[in-house]
Amino acid sequence: MAEPRLSDIETTAVKTASVGARALADAMPRLVLEARRVAATVIHGLHGRRRAGAGENFWQYRRFVSGEPSQNVDWRRSARDDHLYVREREWEASHTVWIWPDRSPSMAFASALATDSKVERALVIAFALAEVLVQGGERVGVPGLLRPTASRNVIEKMAEVILHDTAARASLPPSFAPSPLSEVVMLSDLWSPIADVRGTIAQLSGTGAHGHVMQIVDPAEESFPYSGRVEFIEPEGAGSVTAGRAETWRDDYQGLIAQHRAAIRAETDQRGWSFAVHRTDRPASELLLVLHARMGANGLSASIATRHAPQAGRTA
C-alpha cells in the first residue's frame, strides 16, 4: 500500500515551520539579551504595583480614620505629630499574569520597513514584561506551556519551554481558565478570523480575568506599499493570490484592516479589556510602557473595582 503524500501546499507549510523553528532557536539568545535590555531601560523609571493589605513589610503611614479600632494606631509615630497615624503593611498576595506570544507562521513576516519580525518582537515584549512583573512581585505563566512562576530566571524558563514546544503553533491562546483576579496579555498579529478572536476573548473574560490585547504588526501590513504585479502567499498553508496592479487594492485592504480592528476593539471594550496596536518599526519599550501602565494604574487594583469600564485602543 502506497504511503500518502503531502500536497505541495502542505509540504511547503511543513518546511516553513521547520525553518522557522530553527531560525527562532538561533535567534533566541539575542532575543533574551534584547528583552533584558528593554526591561532594564524601563524598570528604573517605574514604581511597583504595590498597595496596602495583609503582609509583614512596612509600606507607609496614613492618617487614622474615625471609627477604626484604636489598636490600629501607631502610637510611636503619632507621638511625633498632632495627628494619629496607622502603619500600613504592603499587600503580599501576588497575582498571576498569563502572557501569550503568538508564534504562528504569520508572525515570521518582516518587511524591509522593519528590522524585527513580528514573532521576534512578541517574544522580546513577553520576556521583558515577565522580567518587570516578577521583579514587582507578580507571578507569570504561559498558557499551555509554563505554570505561573515568580522565579528570577523567568526569561530563561519561558525561552526553554518555547524552544521545546513541539505542538502546532496556534495564533490564539488555548482555552484555559485563569483565576478571576489574574490578567491575560495577548501578543499577536490577530489576523485570525474575527469570530475566533471574539470567542477567545469572551472565553477568557468569562472566567473573570482582566486582559490586554496587543496587536503586533509590520508597518507594511498597514501601509500596503505594493504596486505592480505581486504574488501574496498565505503563510499558514491557504495558498496564494496574485494582484495584477497591487496598488489598486490599497484602499479596500486598509478598509478591511480598519473594520477588523474596530471589531476587536468593540469586543475588548465590551469585556472591559484594553486594546492597542504596536508596529515593529517602533521601539519595543513603547509597548512595554503602555502595558505596564494599563496593568498598574489602570490594571489590577483599578480593574477589581471598575472591571466594567472600557479602555480605548490606540497605537503604541
Hey, what's the cell of 2? 502506497
CB 171 within 8 A of CB 127: no
240-243 and 314-315 beta bridge pairing: unpaired
Size (the chain), residues: 316
Report the pLDDT value the prediction gives residue 97, as an integer from 0 to 100: 94
Residue among 132, 108, 127, 133 at smallest CA distance from 221: 108
- Grouping H, G, I as helix, E, B as strand and the rest as coil, residue 267 is helix
Spatial separation of the C-alpha atoms in residues 77 and 267, rounded to whole Å: 50
pLDDT in tens, 229-244: 877 776 666 667 777 7
pLDDT per residue as tens digits for the range 289-301: 999 888 864 443 3
Angstrom distance (rounded) from CA 25 to CA 32: 11
Q: What is the mean pLDDT of residues 265-279?
A: 96
Measured in degrees and rounded to the nearest 5, phi and psi for residue 202 equal -65, -45
Query: Which pLDDT band, with edges at 50, 70 and 90, does 20 fall under?
Result: low
Burial of 288 (0-12, 13-18, 19+ CB in 10 A): buried
160 pLDDT tier (thresholds 50, 70, 90): very high
Helices (H) and strands (E) in the chain, counts: 9, 11
Percent of residues, the chain, with pLDDT higher than 90: 46
Rounded to whole angstroms, the Cα distance separating 139 from 181 reads: 12
pLDDT band, very low/low/confident/very high, at 94 (cuts 50, 70, 90): low
pLDDT > 70: percent of the chain: 77
The long-range contacts involving 12-15, CB below 8 angstroms and separated by at least 24 positions, are 12/237, 13/105, 13/236, 13/237
Bridge partners (DSSP) of residue 202 are none
Statement: residue 150 has pLDDT above 80? yes
Distances (CA, A) of 280 to 119, 121, 239, 294: 10, 7, 25, 20
Q: Over range 243-264, report the average pLDDT.
A: 90
Rounded Cα distance, 151 and 306, in Å: 30
- Give the position of cell 504596536: 278
Q: Which residue has the cell 502506497?
A: 2
Which ranges of 44-181 would DSSP assign to H, the alpha helix? 75-78, 118-135, 154-163
Lowest mean pLDDT among 208-222, 224-238, 258-272, 275-289: 224-238
- The pLDDT-based confidence of 36 (bands split at 50, 70, 90) is very high
Q: Residue 117 in contact with residue 103, Cβ under 8 Å?
A: no
> Computed over its alpha carbons, how large is the radius of gyration of the chain?
23
Closest CA to 240 of 231, 252, 249: 231
